[in-house]
Chains A and B, each alone.
Chain A
Amino acid sequence: MLHIYCPYCEEMREEEEFSYSGEAHIVRPKDPKSLTDDEWGDYLFFRTNPRGLHHEMWHHSAGCRRYFNVTRDTSTYRIYETYKIGEKPIVTGEKS
């Protein structure tokens, strides 16, 4: 069971308080009508689903009700960081 730091509550809390909310940083297109069906389909249905580092959204549903981002390794479940909506991840797996 994961132990998650809520960046709004600024506390480590149990996974039971949170809900998973899918991949993070999926931006809704500004003008959906101008997109081709393929482009809209990509936005709707396609996710990276990596083995390894993953940026994902969680909801502190039984807590402060805020959505936030988590950088987690999907194979080890290690959480590298949590950060607020609108912020950028520090851990990206890319060489700096």
Chain B
Amino acid sequence: MTNRLDQCNRMAEGGRIDRSQPLTFTWNGKDYQGYQGDTLASAMLANGIKVVGRSFKYARPRGILGHGAEEANALMQLGEGKETIPNPRATQIELFAGLTAKATNGWPSVDFDLMHWLGKLGGKMMPVGFYYKTFMWPEKMWMTYEKFIRKAAGFGHASAHPDPDIYDKLNQHCDVMVVGAGPAGLAAALEAGRSGKRVIIADEQNEFGGSLLATKESINGQSAITWVEQVTAELAAMDNVQCLSRTCVFGYFDHNFLAALERRTDHQGMTATSGSRQRIHRIRAHKVVLATGAIERPLVFANNDLPGVMLSSSVATYINRYGVVPGNRCVVMTTNDSGYQTALDINGAGRTVVAIVDTRQQPSGRLFEAAQAAGITIKTGHAVIEARGSNQVSNALIAPIDASGENVTGETVTVSCDLIAVAGGWSPVVHLTCHTGSRPKWDETIAGFVPGDSDQDQYLAGAITGEYTTLGALQAGAKMGALVTASETSTSYACEDESVCPPQALYLVPHTKSVSRAPKQFVDFQNDVTAAGIALANREGFESIEHVKRYTALGFGTDQGKTGNINGMAITAKNLGKTIAETGTTIFRPAYTPVTFGALGGRDIGELLDPARHTAMHVWHQQHGAEFENVGQWKRPWYYPKGNETMQEAVNRECLAVRNSVGMLDASTLGKIDIQGPDAREFLNRVYTNAWSKLAPGKCRYGLMLKEDGMVFDDGVTACIDDNHFLMTTTSGGAAGVLSWLELWLQTEWPELEVYLTSVTDHWATCSFSGPNARNLLAKLCDDIDLSAEAFKFMDWRNATVAGVKARIFRISFTGELAFEVNVPANKGLYMWQQIMAAGEEFGITPYGTESMHVLRAEKGYIIVGQDTDGSLTPQDCGMDWIVAKNKDFSFLGQRSFSRPDTSREDRKHLVGLKPKDPTVVIPEGAQIVPHAEVTIPMPMLGHVTSSYWSACLGHGIALGTVKSGNHRMGETVYCPLADGRVLAAEICSPVFYDPQGERHHD
């Protein structure tokens, strides 16, 4: 029984909680009890907890404001250790046994906060734009300031441990997607479901019903809850309907694509005991019915952020749905009829309604009369102009106001109370409609923004359109359900008379003092934006609502202005002498409520983040201790350290082995495109700079591919297999782009060419071995062709049998040595590699990786497209004019651009060799190249270093780089100033450092 006593605000009966299932939870280190069916917020309120956090900027005490997604204050640090979750709203956390939560801020505690001191001073000292104005100078100090500000102001903290849970994504398709399962959504889904269409209905709450879960109204002569239960059961029984509760549609994207987060186990515990904790539904719908309802607006008055000031509809929800009355002596301030129902509910729960304070001068109607009949004091034409209390509401100042709502017209009286329920009218939840680019439009009759025109196949039903009665929502839902299924008739509904008295549009409650002198009147609770702050921003010249938002932070954060935006825009409009329609609204962006990164990542994490491509010989490389390098998605052996070798030692050893005997590289990753058809040769003529008309079968040729602007885009060796058949190789990283490029021209500009392209990159495994002993090695494995230098020339290829396997052997070289590339079908790749390694043992064959490949090719001045080029170099810039045909019939891709003024000027950057003056030095890649050793600012920039290595065979550092007019500066000295203060001198030279005559690879 002691537990009952602890829950001081819990009603003896009523609500959708199970009093037979008490649950213990911990808040800020103390144990409390709630019931199955509670949210953390309802359980906290049941226990009389008032202060749940401190505000963002002023560190003021804050209490629970709402009951759902609109909650701005009650952000929790949920759970502990690696399971902890920052910033969920207490109003959306379903209570489970053993739940622990604490405030996200407040030091040393939320009840006594030191920062609050600053906040109090901040009344004068922290105006809007405070951070911009105070901490912008000196600029370099910003990082220091920011650290302090974040620590002082921040919300919850994320776990630094790996997420213990798994998450899923699910692709869904449906005819009708219904968002929201209140009266409108349920009626729509029922209509659509009965038509046999495939329907998905999703609602963010734990059960369907929306506003009906907290109403005493009736539908068709029975209680609303009974109707909800019947409809939910009928929907659940339909095979064509999928019901998703605890599922928040957080994004609405183009062409009726929606993203929804389903919380599968969050209500059971911190982590899932089996399966996924959450999953994202990616839904493509033919038609979308938005029945997202409306959020009640708070009223802006002095100290309206004191704990104990709550939304009127939330108070009613806590009473009717959770059996909790969050106060003993309540004042209800309202601008419309909805406050009356709350007052009646409080009264019915046996607590005192001190007064209904109605800002309207002459309200009337059914609810007004019901409140009168219940004997509740009603003060019309009045407002609560200020709340008072330390840490929570203890008094309300009530004063008469005029019909315009702009002036206090009489004496203020103070009444004692601990709860002020505020009903400031309703704001349709238009957020999702904004996600697809639609701008909300102002509707004067409901004093709210409603969805604007949309290009989506979208239908609206219920409170999102400003239709706030239950009957109206049901009928609109049924009508839209019928419309999207093209049925002629729709179900009709009957409810009690809900005739309403017109609301008053009141966005800022007047005070006896001016806005700048009155106690703070909060507009946006989460971001601590006040009416005075907005006024200051407007005075300082911020007139566009988008600028006001960014200057004041109105509508920022996880809240996204759910409660504050409309009031803030209306206050801005009034300050500027405009209408709200003229001022307009900021736009709501996804996500509607925060989504965990875990869910967004789903299973696409760790090894599954990106596919890894392995060559056929990968296992061998692993077994032989290779370090790997990522090249696109490929894992390529980088170098093969032996023993305690450093990388440089291993690379030196590998390079020398190639120069002195033989080494082998896995070259399987090179892109390979099989090109066939009678026009294949002509096609190559058009896409490469050189001529292909006379290349005979059995021959290979190096080619340079340009974009139409004349810049180098890819390179590689292409072999003529037969007259109508070629095999093109591309760079490892560029293969996919080259294939798309070739397809583009064939399909769009040259459909008359009969050419067929097939990507065969993965079909072939390539063992590339280089060095003086390469031929001797090949001779041990291949005896069915003549391997002599005269019969099998450089740039020839042959069909042959190697180690018993049919292979294509290419005599091409990227190292400058005698080299052969043996290509075999990929499933023979590992076998071939092992055979060659075994046969090469007597020559000391050494496997080498990409790093040594880079060194060896740089010694020869061979470029790597994408490393030495960056899309701004022509063949001439690269010193490769020799490969540009001058007299081809067809103007090949890029050719015309050579004569453009910018491409033909002489002072372009040229790719040149750079020899460090100090032979022991290796210039860092990326180093800037300048003309003088003395560093003056600004200094003319000549270019940068693109490749730089230690050459073991030459015994000094070598580099390639781009230098302005480099071809005309041979022998000149340039300088590379480094971040550490050193300035390295280098001589401009030919990029070919080794064997400039090319004698070795011709051998």
Contact = CB atoms under 8 A, between A and B. Distances in A.
A57 B743 CA distance: 13
Contacts, number: 60
Given A1-B257, A78-B455, A65 B897 contact: no
Contact of B255 (A1, A19, A28, A75): A1
A69 to B, nearest CB: 10
Nearest to A79: B255
Given A67-B747, A77-B254, A59 B897 contact: no
A7 to B, nearest CB: 13
Contacts of B708: 28, 43-44
A51 B709 CA distance: 26
Contact of A28 (B253, B257, B749, B897): B749
A42 to B, nearest CB: 12
B372 interface: no
A43 B744 CA distance: 16
A78 to B, nearest CB: 5
A10 interface: no
A21 B747 CA distance: 13
A79 B254 CA distance: 10
Interface string A31-63: 111010100110110000000000001010100
B900 A31 contact: no
B870 to A, nearest CB: 18
Secondary structure type dominating chain B contacts: mixed
B740 A77 contact: no
A67 B743 contact: yes
Given A32-B896, A76-B455, A78-B455, A1 B254 contact: yes
Contact of A44 (B744, B897, B899, B901): B897
B257 A77 contact: no
Most buried by A among B255, B257, B897: B255
Nearest to A33: B891
A3 B744 contact: no
A85 B891 contact: no
Interface in A73-87: 73, 75-79, 85-86
Contacts of B255: 1-3, 77, 79
Contacts of B256: 3
A44 B370 CA distance: 76
B751 A85 contact: yes
B6 to A, nearest CB: 50
Given A19-B740, A32-B891, A67-B744, A2 B254 contact: yes
A77 B254 CA distance: 7
A40 B900 contact: yes
Contacts of B897: 40, 44
A67 B899 CA distance: 31
B101 to A, nearest CB: 36
Interface string B197-230: 0000000000000000000000000000000000
Given A1-B255, A19-B740, A66-B747, A35 B896 contact: yes
Interface in B737-780: 740, 743-744, 747-749, 751
A8 to B, nearest CB: 10
B437 interface: yes
Contacts of B747: 66-67, 85
B257 A3 contact: yes
Contacts of A19: 740
Interface residues of B, number: 24
Nearest to B436: A77
A66 B743 CA distance: 8
A21 B744 contact: yes
Given A1-B255, A1-B257, A32-B891, A40 B896 contact: yes
A76 B896 contact: no
Report the contact-size class of chain A (Cβ under 8 Å from the partner). 20 to 34
Contacts of B899: 37
Contacts of A28: 708, 749
B9 interface: no
B751 A37 contact: no
B454 to A, nearest CB: 9
Interface string A1-16: 1110000000000100
Contacts of B744: 21, 59, 67
B717 to A, nearest CB: 24
Contacts of B313: none
Interface in B416-465: 437, 455
A59 B746 CA distance: 13
B891 A31 contact: yes
B284 interface: yes
Nearest to B746: A67
Interface in B895-939: 895-897, 899-901
A75 B437 contact: yes
A37 B900 contact: yes
Nearest to B708: A44
Nearest to A21: B744
Contacts of A14: 284
A19 B751 CA distance: 20
B893 to A, nearest CB: 9
Given A1-B257, A2-B255, A57 B896 contact: no
Nearest to A19: B740
A37 B708 CA distance: 13
Contacts of B749: 27-28
Nearest to A68: B747
A86 B257 contact: no
Interface in B704-747: 708-709, 740, 743-744, 747
Interface string B266-302: 0000000000000000001000000000000000000
Contacts of B709: 44
Nearest to B254: A77
A37 to B, nearest CB: 6
Contacts of A73: 455
A27 B264 CA distance: 54
B899 to A, nearest CB: 8
Contacts of A85: 747-748, 751
B251 to A, nearest CB: 10
Interface of B: 253-257, 284, 437, 455, 708-709, 740, 743-744, 747-749, 751, 891, 895-897, 899-901
Given A31-B891, A59-B743, A61-B740, 5 more contacts: A21-B744, A66-B747, A67-B743, A67-B748, A78-B455
Closest 6 CB pairs of A and B: A32-B896, A76-B455, A3-B255, A32-B891, A77-B254, A1-B257
9 contacts: A1-B253, A33-B896, A35-B896, A37-B900, A40-B900, A44-B708, A44-B709, A67-B743, A77-B437
